[in-house]
Amino acid sequence: MPPKKKARVSKRTASSGKDDDGETVSSAGGKRKAAASVGKNEKSSESPGSPQYSHWLMKSEPESRFENGIDVKFGIEDLKALPDQTGCWDGVRNYQARNFMRQMKEGQLAFFYHSNCKEPGIAGVMKIVKESYVDHTQFDKKDVHYDATSKPDNPKWSMVDVQYQRMMKRFLPLSELKKYHLQHRANGGPLKDMALFTRARLSVQPLTAEEFDFILSLEDEEAL
């Protein structure tokens, strides 16, 4: 059984009206409507021939924010404090983000990214310890992620279980990662096409092995 306190993902970032770069985005409800209108290929699992990834970046909010009286805060310290330092990554309500979770395999690594906060960025590393299964919050009318259009015999939304591995040697802020992205886009480099900047609003994002390894290498470098 997953722990009672569940990982809260930053699809809620949309609810605040801003993404991490300060761009206005739709409300969470509007985001769900937009997700519902995407093509059939995004509603199903990734189509044959889609790129297969083995590293990930997953966003969550480390600062308190209340929706319907419920605090959606969930930072890396909250994951670390759970039994076995393990929690379920529930609440994803975007088809593309969901499909990425459905690609995840046990043992793969993901960056825990702090989103919708004073200083967003990569805080630590976690591991996928249970592959995709039904997200029960979609059926809970008291949960902020309740989806009345999803039916138990044909559930729309999935989640995975993640386990805390370690903190980064130093916090890697979005501002620094963006500088590398711009440098690499101009001159070539691993972060030139990083989803954090090309698909910024996704709360679950794929990383290439080169992107993941380059970001890890920044731990031992001085901040830009």
Q: What is the reported pLDDT for 163? A: 98
Residue 19 is predicted with a pLDDT of 56
Q: Residues with Cβ < 8 Å from 53, sequence gap 6 or more?
A: 100, 103, 206, 207, 208
Q: So what's the pLDDT on residue 20?
A: 62
Q: Average pLDDT, stretch 173-194?
A: 98
What is the model's pLDDT at position 52? 84
Expressed in angstroms, the distance from the first to the final Cα of the chain is 43
* Phi-psi region at 39: left, alpha or beta (left = phi > 0; alpha = psi -120 to 50): beta
For residues 86 and 51, the model is more confident at: 86
Q: Is the pLDDT confidence value at 67 over 50? A: yes
Give the pLDDT confidence of 89-135 residue by residue, as tens digits: 999 999 999 999 999 999 999 999 999 999 999 999 999 999 999 99
Pick the CATH number of 55-171+201-208 from 3.40.640.10, 1.10.10.10, 3.40.50.740, 3.10.590.10: 3.10.590.10
pLDDT in tens, 32-46: 322 333 333 344 444
Is residue 54 within 8 A of residue 108, CB to CB? The reply is: yes
Where along the chain do its domains lie? Answer: 55-171+201-208
Q: Is the Cβ–Cβ distance between 172 and 218 less than 8 Å?
A: yes
